[in-house]
């Protein structure tokens, strides 16, 4: 390792790609479980929506009424985008194009960062580079792995929709839209992997880009019902929706994905040519010669490692809460006489007044997304262990429990901070819209904080996996994703109650406006405590490393 070079870029040649095939086979072997799970779960979820939509909206009149009511309301356009076609395929596209595109983007960023920056961070890339491996081979192998994953995802979605009786052109358009968005963010991840010195920051930067794309899409669709807003066209998530599957496909939109992916990948290749292994364009600053007193303990170190992530999530939740609160007052215009839409919202937010139902739905969504923060914060323990950074800490006068509890405290308390900022944003956004900031402030913030026990259950399960089954810690993301999926699409699909009950969020009262008892909170807290304690006990008995 030396540094980032300021001289001319190293010219690319065949030698720079040497070893790409071997690295690709290695990446596919390492991802032989993760990638198929992502592809099958996401692909079959999209394709499986046709049956429930056919059952719920079995006539053209019902579908047209749904499309009209959704397009007439800015709140639902901001959440899901406009409905471009009222066929069954058009409704599936409306519901899943943006959601599927975001999940494909997350899958792609995890693949690319795992096989580029994470390899350098753990030192494995330096070992591999001692063999015949070209400078650009790791990026090429990572992009090819992401390409194969997104191609498989597009094929599963397309084949599933065709099998369910949907037109071929629309099915292919939706599959390519989701896969194309995934590839765009795979290219973005290659750039982030060159800019940062850690895999965690690379994932954070790419994740922030995905979040920005979703916000731009939501703001653009809220402003315009026909998708003509410039903000929508600045977002790759918006491109996925506005390819308009089953509604007069715009095949030229695929060129935007291709151009964006190629441009980002070229930027990643160019940046990689200007640095050595292990270096980055945004290197970590050297610390002071003497550590402050706050870093003298395990908790101080955990806080130092996780505070930036926590700050980013808190700011993001405050902004998202403000946006959702600002559109809550228009919720009463959404339903009109549409009984089915009213029933969907009531399953998500309860049967109270419609504005309260919408606020409860948004509070629930903040809770489900906060589970992603909590899971990531808990799994930071596994990253410290596998990155060999835990070993020197534990070699000092720091026990395993003290080290683990320090990180868990950040994860559990940070959940409260994130949800509190989201709740404040939601309350202020709604209060500013109706001209009464203080009227519902406490109730709305309390509704957001009421999500904490459910988030802690998922964090506790992640802690249990880390302590008892360390090789399966990534399954914690699966549990969190399943809870998110049940809460996001379960009400629209009218899933059976026993399926809804698999998510801890389904057991919480619908606040504000709903009836609340202490029992569900106590049971969820007890589950979180027991699973966390079981994980810590198992951690004391297993080998580390």
> Residue 520: what pLDDT?
92
Q: Look up residue 506 and give its DSSP letter.
A: G
Q: What whole-number distance in Å separates Cα of residue 77 and Cα of residue 70?
A: 7
Element (H, E) at 251: none
Least confident among 24-33, 273-282, 288-297, 407-416: 288-297
| Average pLDDT of every residue of the chain | 85
| 244 Cβ neighbours under 8 A, 6+ residues apart | 84, 85, 93, 173, 250
| 458 Cβ neighbours under 8 A, 6+ residues apart | 371, 374, 375, 476, 479, 480, 483, 504
**CA nearest neighbour of 180 among 120, 240, 221, 225:** 240
Q: Look up residue 166 and give its DSSP letter.
A: -
Contact, 544 vs 385, CB < 8 A? Answer: yes
Contact, 349 vs 360, CB < 8 A? Answer: yes
Q: What angle do CA 222, 227, 232 make, to 5 degrees?
A: 75
**pLDDT per position as a tens digit, 153-182:** 999 999 999 999 999 999 999 999 999 999
Pick the more confident residue, 148 or 289.
148
Q: Is the pLDDT of residue 7 over 70?
A: no
> Residue 77: what pLDDT?
78
Count of other CB atoms within 10 angstroms of residue 187: 23
Q: Which tokens go with 51?
A: 């049956």
Pick the more confident residue, 491 or 382.
382
Q: Is the dihedral of CA 514, 518, 520, 526 positive or negative?
A: positive
**Longest CA span, the chain:** 72
Q: Look up residue 283 and give its DSSP letter.
A: P
Q: Count CA atoms within 13 Å of residue 78 on its CB side.
A: 18
Please report which confidence band the pLDDT of residue 493 belongs to, taking 50, 70 and 90 as the band edges.
Answer: low
* Entry field: residues in the chain: 545
Q: What whole-number distance in Å separates Cα of residue 63 and Cα of residue 66?
A: 5
Please report which confidence band the pLDDT of residue 124 belongs to, taking 50, 70 and 90 as the band edges.
Answer: confident
Pick the more confident residue, 329 or 407.
407
Q: Which tokens go with 179?
A: 């896969």
> Residue 136: what pLDDT?
86
> Residue 2: what pLDDT?
41
- The DSSP-derived string for 105-150 is HHHHHHHHHHHTHHHHHHTHHHHHHTSS--TTHHHHHHHHHHHHHH
Across 448-463, average pLDDT: 95
Element (H, E) at 507: none
> Residue 1: what pLDDT?
43
Across 467-486, average pLDDT: 84
Q: Which tokens go with 161?
A: 């929709």
Q: What angle do CA 90, 93, 98 make, to 5 degrees?
A: 150
**pLDDT per position as a tens digit, 192-203:** 999 988 887 888
For a pLDDT cut of 90, what percent of the chain falls above it? 36
> Residue 50: what pLDDT?
86
Q: Is the pLDDT of residue 347 over 80?
A: no
Q: What whole-number distance in Å separates Cα of residue 401 and Cα of residue 40?
A: 38
Contact, 432 vs 326, CB < 8 A? Answer: yes
Q: What whole-number distance in Å separates Cα of residue 109 and Cα of residue 541?
A: 34
């Amino acid at each position: 390792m030396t540094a980032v070079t300021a001289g001319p870029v190293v010219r690319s040649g065949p030698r720079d790609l040497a070893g790409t095939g071997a690295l690709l086979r290695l990446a596919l072997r390492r991802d032989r479980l993760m990638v198929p799970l992502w592809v099958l779960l996401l692909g079959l979820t999209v394709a499986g929506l046709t049956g429930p939509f056919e059952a719920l909206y079995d006539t053209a009149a019902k579908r047209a009424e749904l499309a009209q009511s959704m397009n007439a309301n800015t709140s639902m356009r901001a959440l899901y985008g406009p409905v471009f076609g009222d066929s069954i395929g058009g409704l599936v596209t409306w519901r899943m194009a943006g959601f599927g595109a975001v999940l494909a983007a997350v899958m792609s960023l995890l693949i690319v960062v795992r096989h580029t920056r994470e390899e350098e961070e753990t030192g494995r890339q330096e070992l591999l580079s001692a063999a015949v491996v070209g400078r650009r081979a790791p990026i090429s192998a990572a992009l090819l792995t992401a390409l194969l994953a997104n191609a498989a995802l597009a094929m599963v979605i397309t084949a599933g929709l065709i099998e369910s009786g949907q037109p071929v052109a629309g099915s292919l358009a939706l599959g390519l839209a989701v896969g194309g968005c995934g590839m765009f963010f795979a290219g973005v991840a290659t750039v982030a992997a060159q800019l940062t010195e850690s895999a965690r920051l690379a994932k954070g930067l790419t994740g922030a880009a995905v979040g920005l794309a979703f916000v731009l899409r939501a703001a653009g669709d809220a402003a315009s019902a026909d998708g003509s807003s410039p903000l929508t066209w600045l977002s790759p998530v918006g491109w996925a929706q506005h390819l308009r599957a089953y509604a007069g496909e715009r095949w030229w939109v695929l060129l935007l994905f291709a151009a964006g992916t190629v441009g980002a990948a070229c930027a990643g290749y160019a940046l990689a040519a200007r640095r050595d292994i292990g270096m980055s364009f945004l290197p970590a600053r050297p610390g002071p010669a003497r550590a402050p007193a706050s870093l003298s303990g395990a908790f101080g170190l955990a806080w130092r490692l996780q505070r930036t992530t926590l700050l980013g999530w808190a700011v993001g939740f405050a902004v998202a809460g403000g946006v959702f609160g600002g559109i809550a007052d228009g919720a009463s215009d959404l339903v009109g006489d549409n009984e089915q839409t009213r029933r969907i919202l009531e399953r998500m937010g309860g049967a109270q007044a419609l504005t309260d139902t919408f606020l409860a739905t948004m509070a629930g969504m903040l809770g489900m997304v906060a589970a992603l923060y909590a899971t990531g914060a808990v799994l930071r323990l596994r990253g410290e262990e596998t990155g060999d950074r835990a070993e020197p800490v534990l070699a000092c006068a720091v026990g395993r429990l003290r080290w683990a509890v320090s990180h868990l405290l950040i994860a559990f308390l940070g959940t409260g901070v994130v949800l509190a900022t989201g709740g404040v944003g939601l309350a202020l956004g709604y209060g500013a819209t109706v001209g009464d900031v203080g009227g519902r402030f406490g109730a709305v913030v309390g509704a957001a904080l009421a999500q904490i026990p459910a988030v802690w259950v998922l964090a506790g399960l992640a802690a249990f996996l880390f302590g008892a089954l360390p090789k399966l810690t990534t399954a914690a993301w699966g549990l969190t994703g399943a809870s998110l999926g049940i809460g996001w699409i379960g009400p629209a699909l009218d899933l059976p109650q026993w399926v809804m009950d698999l998510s801890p969020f389904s057991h919480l009262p619908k606040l504000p406006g709903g009836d609340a008892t202490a029992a569900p909170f106590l049971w969820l807290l007890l589950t979180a405590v027991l699973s966390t304690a079981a994980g810590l006990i198992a951690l004391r008995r297993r080998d580390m490393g």
